[in-house]
A and B are shown apart, each in its own frame.
Chain A
Amino acid sequence: KQEVTQIPAALSVPEGENLVLNCSFTDSAIYNLQWFRQDPGKGLTSLLLIQSSQREQTSGRLNASLDKSSGRSTLYIAASQPGDSATYLCAVLRSYNTDKLIFGTGTRLQVFP
């Protein structure tokens, strides 16, 4: 059974710091991996999607890497801002013909001015 773990569970940093959030999964046979952002009282917003054949994706200050063989992904946030405060979730999709995203428990990030 695929299990997805995120470390740390919570993180509080001053504005401007570069951050690394970690995601690990037990079964390396995945189709893709996504990073989501969840704001309180709001739904999830997809940030980055990495196909299993890719090693990284970048969007603005965000960079996500994937090492499928070791079952790990990292989300790098450069020059953090208070507006980055949210819960960050990673999720894996096992194969193309299944639609079940398997989520980690999330990292709750607070960036203070």
Chain B
Amino acid sequence: GAGVSQSPRYKVAKRGQDVALRCDPISGHVSLFWYQQALGQGPEFLTYFQNEAQLDKSGLPSDRFFAERPEGSVSTLKIQRTQQEDSAVYLCASSLEELAGGETQYFGPGTRLLVL
């Protein structure tokens, strides 16, 4: 596709439910990032993949959050036993090279998660 796509665009979950958020990066992009954006805040880094390797997961807020990119393309962010504080927009971004450095990150439209 022409850009980064994410699905679903909106997700309403009951507290305690597990959710899975999908990201399709730009074809051929090596690097993939997940960010969490709370209402009225800037995005905060969650995790980074270089191909299928998760090189940095320091931003994941708890062990309820798990991300994978098994074939180095599509990535899934899974949140187990969702809590109300997990409500946010989850943004995925990709960039062409191994290290972002001076590379532009291309962002998807995000998945808006609401936990009731």
Contact = CB atoms under 8 A, between A and B. Distances in A.
Contacts of B106: 43, 46
Contacts of A4: 42
B61 to A, nearest CB: 15
Contact of B42 (A43, A45, A91): A91
Interface in B36-52: 40-45, 48
Contacts of B48: 99-100
A39 B26 CA distance: 20
Given A41-B109, A42-B109, A43-B109, A101 B45 contact: yes
Contacts of A102: 45
Interface residues of B, number: 29
Interface string A78-100: 00000000000101010011111
B110 to A, nearest CB: 6
A51 interface: yes
Nearest to A93: B100
Nearest to B41: A105
Interface of A: 4, 31-32, 34, 36, 41-46, 49, 51, 89, 91, 93, 96-106
Q: Closest 7 interchain pairs by CB?
A: A103-B42, A43-B107, A99-B100, A44-B107, A100-B45, A96-B101, A43-B109
17 contacts: A32-B102, A43-B106, A44-B93, A46-B104, A49-B102, A51-B102, A89-B42, A91-B42, A96-B99, A99-B48, A99-B100, A100-B45, A100-B56, A100-B59, A101-B35, A104-B42, A106-B42
